[in-house]
Amino acid sequence: MQEKGAQGRFKLAKANKIESALGSVRRLGYPKHIDGEAVLEGGQAAWDGGSVFKSSWKMGQLFLTKDKLAFYQGQNQIKEIQVSAITGTEVLERNWVPGRKTTQLCVFFERGEIRRKAFYSFDDAGLWRDLIENLIAEER
């Protein structure tokens, strides 16, 4: 049993000095541009690639450019959402694994006539929400 405040296996910890050092090294390797677009923000994240009925978290890196939000695992782009398709965002507490909730960013977007949402978990969901909301406001 873990002590209260201890780091869980899947906890993306800001307070953990080892994680902070590793995060800094990882960021050095992050691309400065994706498809010719400057990366505004990037970092380690998890994306819920599951369905309404079952979560399926995938670890990787999330990048935000002026035009898109892109999730990568290694060199493979797994998910891309155009900023122009994003209709809003919300920070909420949601299940990560059974019995364990984390703060997550929900991104609402449209593909054709269909409304969708994507969930991301990472250190600072509020920062990402603000960045995305500012880009949406600039588009309008």
Q: Is position 111 within any domain?
A: yes
Q: What is the pLDDT along the chain (140 residues), one digit of tens a residue?
A: 444 444 444 555 444 444 555 455 455 567 777 888 889 999 889 998 766 667 688 999 999 999 999 999 988 889 999 999 999 999 999 877 777 888 999 999 998 889 999 999 988 899 999 999 999 998 77
Q: Do 90 and 125 contact (CB within 8 A), yes or no?
A: no
Any domain includes 39: yes
Extended beta strands in 2-113, E state: 33-34, 37-48, 57-65, 68-73, 76-82, 86-97, 100-111
Residue-level pLDDT at 7: 46
Return the CATH number at 74: 2.30.29.30
Range of the domain at 124: 17-139
Is there a domain that residue 5 lies in?
A: no
Angle at 111 between CA 105 and CA 114, to 5 degrees: 90
Q: Report yes or no on 122 lying in a domain.
A: yes
All residues at 6 or more sequence positions from 34 whose CB lies less than 8 Å from its CB, including other chains: 63, 65, 68, 70
> Comparing C-alpha atoms, which of 72, 135, 82, 70 is closest to residue 112?
82
Q: Note whether residue 47 is domain-resident.
A: yes
Q: Give the number of domains in the chain.
A: 1
Q: What is the pLDDT of residue 50?
A: 67
Is 3 part of a structural domain of the chain? Answer: no
Residue 114 lies in a domain: yes
**Residue 102: per-residue pLDDT:** 86
In a domain, 63, yes or no: yes
